[in-house]
Structure 1
């Protein structure tokens, strides 16, 4: 077995992979292309499977201390009527940990702080991964060439390493939806910890954060690349007639804080999450739509599973084969479920279909929402130590 790795990408998945490999005694270097880590992405909600993964990575306690637990909320219509309520306390009883909401910048900071000095290299782009040497790949960035026993490709939805390893794969496809999001400038008076509201081809959601501010997101059916000169003003027009606190959340936001990204996903599943001694992880392996809130959680699961497989051995090759066998069916299944959730939720735009969907939700048993979350969040991580 080897004991050195290069992780390509310093986002949540890459940092998690580094933490997991460090926990099993490996030497790890994370190479991040961005010269400045601005931690864009507003806020994030992590279900129990993501929080449990963070526990195994050694940072769960710090994340809980910085997060707000999500107990009350649910799904509504634009006029404010409830479609389903979510009981976060029941989820905590079932899973042993609550859903948490935290700014991405805080989560990234906690994970980076758990790495030793020098483990994260920024402003460096990996330009080559030479897999010709059977003893292990050689990774080049700038003037640096580093030999490693394993390379982890955590370089996101537009992964260059995925494209090099699987040149016949079509890559990410536009989902048909675009997302705008921000954190409010100041604390807001909001009753629920988290809410989603479904309209015609649109969704508006928010989570409360520990300091009283809120993270909100608006997901819209739109052509790829469509942008406006003043996105916040456009959102105020689009959602101005929706129920409270949606107008108040937009009113508490600075225009400069609004982030706008088109949502891309891997509609065509990868045939493998590994190629030789390279393992794909997170969005590079299974980019999915955000409609289940599982993208980051699946990346965290990947990281723990990869580290556990490499710790168990007996060889790097057998460990990576086990990682692929364990992670590919689950994460690709979650990606399919997220796509279907979007089609039945935010992306639905025909009035009759929306009316039928809403009626079905209102007639559903009260525990359906909890069971839907349990289906994906009830994951027990392998132990790393």
Structure 2
């Protein structure tokens, strides 16, 4: 069923949807407020189901070529002793965000994306069979349709990359904070930290001050200290963590929500980018197979809303658990038991 679509946002969900619909013969226009594709960004986990989605979109091989394969991660205490081993039975590919977005944008006609074009009123968009709102966790479209704003998780994330390869992946849990290390590519290390907001505030640092990381993590095990020593003037991405409360639907009329606009979540499960890709391929599949748009959007909503709401809840629990302040031995014992089942 070829038709026309207007897509708000050229992030992962928006570009994946544009690529899929163009391949299905649709006319597509994307509006994006930023000036172009990003040149920097940290690594994103691509689980096998996300790689299958990328293969369906014709972007899998490019992502494989620009990513690192990883099997499992060690969960550690601040002194470096092991709590457990996570995901030993599953393989994930770690791909820098710019590589993923470039792969999704590869081959799109140059006039498909209108850069530097913020959408302030989705009701004033050009006429189309479908309006796809892939406009992020702060989605103005979601706010206009459902009156739902994102809710704070009580934690702040700091992320970046440093020179030097990572030897595997670790996530270290301390009181009220964690520190993660993964490969970024063959020559760089990806790092991320999550801290309870009040703990970070008491550290008394500005957003661009790497000394806050030394104050919070400087006495942790050598793998963490190696990253801290390599920080130098590398950029630090600093943001308050949010998620989106459960919505009654991801569809209203001919407007459909995808990605973080529909189900923004805590990053602790490494599922945000994967779920955006699964949204996109589910929507493209529904629109391609259906004889009418309302029926296709209903099938998309039925396929994606319940599983993503469940993932948001699990990610929220993981965020709270990994940055717990009290009963840390109990927390670690529960995490060790869960790791043995993963």
* TM-score, L = length of structure 2: 0.93
Q: Distance in 2 between matches of 1:212 and 1:314?
A: 49
State the SS of the aligned residue for 1:127.
Answer: coil
Indicate the larger mover: 152-161 or 24-33.
Answer: 24-33
Structure 1 unaligned residues grouped into runs of 5+ = 92-97, 131-137, 140-145, 370-385
- Indicate whether 1:263 and 2:238 are aligned: no
- Indicate whether 1:221 and 2:199 are aligned: no
Q: Distance in 1 between matches of 2:311 and 2:69?
A: 23
Q: How does 1:341-380 map onto structure 2 within 5 Å?
A: 341-345=318-322, 347-350=323-326, 353-362=327-336, 364=337, 367-369=340-342
> In the alignment, what sits opposite 2:249?
272
Q: Distance in 2 between matches of 1:340 and 1:365?
A: 13
> In the alignment, what sits opposite 1:181?
159
> In the alignment, what sits opposite 2:103?
110
Q: Distance in 2 between matches of 1:3 and 1:157?
A: 27
The Cα shift of 1:289 comes to 0.6
State the SS of the aligned residue for 1:255.
Answer: coil
Q: How does 1:174-213 map onto structure 2 within 5 Å?
A: 174-184=152-162, 186-188=163-165, 190-192=166-168, 194-213=169-188
Report if aligned partners of 1:174, 1:224 keep a CA contact under 8 Å in 2: no
Report if aligned partners of 1:2, 1:316 keep a CA contact under 8 Å in 2: no
How many residues align? The count is: 339
> In the alignment, what sits opposite 2:210?
232
- 1:150 paired residue among 110, 127, 130: 130
**Cα separation, partners in 2 of 1:123 and 1:223, compared to 1, 3 Å:** farther
State the SS of the aligned residue for 1:123.
Answer: coil
Report if aligned partners of 1:224, 1:262 keep a CA contact under 8 Å in 2: no
State the SS of the aligned residue for 1:198.
Answer: strand
> In the alignment, what sits opposite 2:266?
289
Report if aligned partners of 1:265, 1:286 keep a CA contact under 8 Å in 2: yes
* TM-score, L = length of structure 1: 0.83
Cα deviation 1:324-379 (Å, max 9, x = unaligned): 1111001001101111112222x2111xx2111223344x387413xxxxxxxxxx
Q: Distance in 2 between matches of 1:54 and 1:225?
A: 37
Cα deviation 1:164-213 (Å, max 9, x = unaligned): 1113x3x10111010001011x224x422x21111111111011133221
- 1:99 paired residue among 58, 67, 92: 92
The Cα shift of 1:76 comes to 0.7
> In the alignment, what sits opposite 1:378?
none
Cα deviation 1:77-114 (Å, max 9, x = unaligned): 111111111354x32xxxxxx30112111111121123
Structure 2 unaligned residues grouped into runs of 5+ = none
Cα deviation 1:257-316 (Å, max 9, x = unaligned): 1110111111x3111101111110001001111111111111111000000000111200
Q: Distance in 1 between matches of 2:118 and 2:65?
A: 34
- 1:164 paired residue among 144, 153, 162: 144
The Cα shift of 1:231 comes to 2.8
Report if aligned partners of 2:37, 2:102 keep a CA contact under 8 Å in 1: no
Q: Distance in 1 between matches of 2:156 and 2:51?
A: 27
Cα deviation 1:125-154 (Å, max 9, x = unaligned): 123333xxxxxxx61xxxxxx221111000
> In the alignment, what sits opposite 1:21?
21
> In the alignment, what sits opposite 2:229?
251
Q: How does 1:65-144 map onto structure 2 within 5 Å?
A: 65-86=65-86, 88=88, 90-91=89-90, 98-130=91-123, 139=125
